[in-house]
Chain A
Amino acid sequence: MKSKSPVFANQLLLCVLVTFCTGGSIGLAAVWMRHQISVTARSNRDLAAEVARLERLIDEQKTLLETEQAPDKLRGLNATMRLGLVPMSELPVLQVTENVIERMARRATRGPLIETAAPPAPVTFRLARN
């Protein structure tokens, strides 16, 4: 009985120490894990916030671009900067009333030698009344 007591005490102490170490390790691991979870969560949140921030900035720039491209604004710039841009209004189709073959032949053979010079403008005189 006597001889068993120290053994029991040693075993108890050992068990307590092992439990202590194991519990401590698990506790530390849990703390470390929770810390990592916090860090990761915070990092995720920061990344999401950054993405949202960039999206908002992109949106703002897009809106700014659209606003600057508003028709009335462009017309104003055209006038202010004297660009002389005019809206497209020319008809894309030319109505040919004459003989099409003759017209094409004339266009194909048109050149500086064949092209007749424009007739001189008629000169008119106006008599002043006295």
Chain B
Amino acid sequence: MSRGFASNRIALLGVVLFACFTGLGVRLVWLHVVDREDILRPVVRARPMLIPEMARRGDILDARGARLATSRSEIVLGVDPHSLLPKDRKKWPELAALIGMPEEELGEKFTPRYAAPAPETPPPQPVVTKAENADDGGDGVAAFTFDLSPTAVAAESAGEEETDPSADPRQPRPILWVKLRDDVPESLHEKIRRLNIQGVYGRRVYRRVYPSNQLGSHLIGFVNREQQAAAGLESYADFYLRGQQGWRLGERDGRNRELPQFAVREVPRFDGYNVRLSIDSTVQDIVEQELAALAAKFRPAKASIIVSDTDGFILAMANHPTFNPNEYNKVPKEEEVRMKNVAVTDVYEPGSVFKIVPAAAALEERLVSSRTVIDCGVDRLTYNGRVLKLPAEDHAMGRLSVAEIISHSSNRGAAQLGMMLGEERLHRYASAFGFGARLGFPNGEVRGKLHPVKKWYPIDITRIPMGHTVSSTVLQMHQAMSVIATGGVLLRPQIIRQITSPTGDVVYAYDRAEIGRAVSPETAAEVARMLIGVTRQGGTATNAAIEGFDVAGKTGTSQKIIDGRYSNRHHVGSFVGFFPAQRPRVVISVVVDDADRAAAGGNGYGRVVAAPSFKRIGERLIPILGIRPGGEPGVPRLLARHEGGRR
């Protein structure tokens, strides 16, 4: 009896338990299969969380690793006035002191407010990147969108106030975000966080900082507040610098905190690569100091200085006037020309510096030697059946050797060298020296003007050899002189040495790049020897000479075209050269535009306004770059002579 009863009880218990389990199972199936979508819908809408991870823009470094442009993490600090707690009120004065805001203003921003209802017209739909939850099979139940574009992320932190996006736009909407300050440094943000005021929070953004201010600003360019590379290398190397944003798709809890265990998809961010330049900050600073001094003394319209090595790498490039990329938005609209890298964007007639082209060409073609004497006293010559008037000289020259034509800068001598060459060969050599074409400088470079021979006027054969009716950028003239310094090879001007990863690995290294050979090494050496005469006694630029070193260079002074005519009162003075002449280490170009008003004698000749700068820069570079007098000792050698002087 009792056993039967016990058996029944056990059987009953078993049945009850089984029934319970069955019921539980049925309920589970009901919840997970039948009601799944209805239950999941609000959860899936509320819980997904997309966390963008801003990639850090890479640094721009100088040749020694100093940062010329870097990205600093800053916080856009704001408050949700509707989340503030009364207990935190006593912390407000401390917050106000930390962010440097008057307490009254802070109190105003902390007051809960509502935005006026929006007008009836629907707002334009933003272009969005759609992220869909893979688990939902694209059935539309859990589809949600986020705007991941960098502009949108930047814009998100740019607004002063934001309302609740889920609120009815036809009703007054609570303002859930009021910006307090948009440039809170990380260290200050730490202190603010420690105050633990509920409702005060920040959004992290990367801001571009140029620690050296205007140093190399024309080369580096800048990134605007929308985080778009606007100019210079920032724009050119943007592909390497910008990196790639990452994002995490996960879930959040009721307090809006991320639940990392439910992360369903993660795209890691890739920080931008660093770009290491050939620019040497020390050299750049010397150049910019010299430009500032030059500007103070001569008040030119503009001026440019370029320093490069003999592998085509630019060590310094600066222009006057300049600007500070940290404050690019403070440059007045009418002065925006200050932000142009005029050394590559503007052209000028190079004047006498161009004489190295016909001289080198005539030597290369064996038409003359450096000792060949040419009568520079004649003012007319017959060429191709026409009597051509030769250009005027500053003073009577008489009979000069080719070396003297260069050292004395004889226009008529250069014209005769051009006539010996003829149009075709002169054009070919000018092209080989890099005129009339872009040299491949990173950005903004213009090609200058070297007309095809068929467009030349008959008189051009006498004017082009002296650097008229041909125009070039400062960089082109610099590279043309570099042809002599490098032994006859035209090199591509380069400014980027390496692309490196954030961990320091070299991704790509730039090497010397030859465009082509212009003249033979022997001809280049011969021209270099002739150019030494320019800075020696009797030359046109003795004030460019550096004691103990052989300096090879050439002055240039060209008249500016004002109202369609060559002006006698507006000149571009230049000096382009290199040293030591026998084993060149640096090529320096100084071009000063319209310094006539303040120049001695009212003419901004190259020897007056540019040559002294060359000397000062050269002297300061000697200890910094470890330049030693090379080749032959600095014994004066006769390379140029005056008519009737020593021979």
Contacts and interface: CB of A to CB of B under 8 A. Distances in A.
A70 B211 contact: yes
A34 interface: yes
A88 B73 contact: no
Given A66-B67, A66-B212, A42 B187 contact: no
A52 to B, nearest CB: 9
Contacts of B73: 56, 59-60
A95 to B, nearest CB: 5
Contacts of A106: none
Nearest to B17: A16
A71 B281 contact: yes
A63 B261 contact: no
B70 A66 contact: yes
24 contacts: A6-B3, A6-B6, A13-B10, A13-B17, A38-B260, A38-B261, A41-B263, A60-B187, A62-B70, A63-B67, A66-B211, A66-B212, A67-B211, A70-B213, A71-B281, A87-B286, A87-B620, A88-B620, A89-B620, A89-B623, A91-B547, A91-B623, A92-B623, A95-B548
A62 to B, nearest CB: 7
Contacts of A89: 619-620, 623
A79 interface: no
B619 A42 contact: no
B14 interface: yes
A93 interface: yes
A87 B619 CA distance: 11
Interface string B270-307: 00000000000100011000000000000000000000
Interface in B1-54: 3-4, 6-7, 10-11, 13-14, 17-18, 21
Contacts of B213: 70, 72
Contact of B18 (A5, A16, A59, A72): A16
Nearest to A7: B7
Contact of B260 (A6, A45, A56, A70): A45
A53 B73 CA distance: 10
Nearest to A19: B21
Contact of A12 (B4, B14, B623, B626): B14
Contacts of A72: 213-215
A98 interface: no
A71 B187 contact: no
A78 B224 CA distance: 33
B134 interface: no
A53 B547 CA distance: 54
B181 interface: no
Given A60-B73, A70-B215, A42 B260 contact: yes
Q: Report the 4 A-B pairs with minimum CB-CB distance, sorted nearest first.
A: A66-B211, A6-B7, A41-B260, A9-B10
Could you say which interface size class chain B belongs to? Answer: 35 or more
A42 to B, nearest CB: 6
Interface in B172-207: 185-187, 190
A90 interface: yes
B258 interface: yes
Nearest to A36: B261
A57 interface: yes
Could you say which interface size class chain A belongs to? Answer: 35 or more
B72 interface: yes
B622 interface: yes
Contacts, number: 107
Contact of A93 (B66, B211, B259, B628): B628
B209 A67 contact: yes
Contacts of A56: 73, 186
A25 interface: no
A22 interface: no
Nearest to B259: A38
A12 B213 CA distance: 84
B215 A34 contact: no
Interface string B70-96: 111100000000000000000000000
Contacts of A63: 67, 70, 72, 209, 211
A91 B301 CA distance: 33
Contacts of A62: 67, 70
B458 interface: no
A67 B215 CA distance: 12
Given A34-B261, A45-B260, A56-B73, A91 B211 contact: no
Contacts of B628: 92-93
A16 B185 CA distance: 63
A5 B626 CA distance: 106
Contacts of B209: 63, 67
B488 interface: no
A41 B281 CA distance: 45
Given A59-B73, A88-B623, 16 more contacts: A6-B6, A9-B7, A16-B18, A38-B259, A41-B261, A41-B263, A42-B260, A63-B209, A66-B67, A66-B70, A67-B211, A87-B286, A88-B624, A91-B622, A92-B626, A93-B629
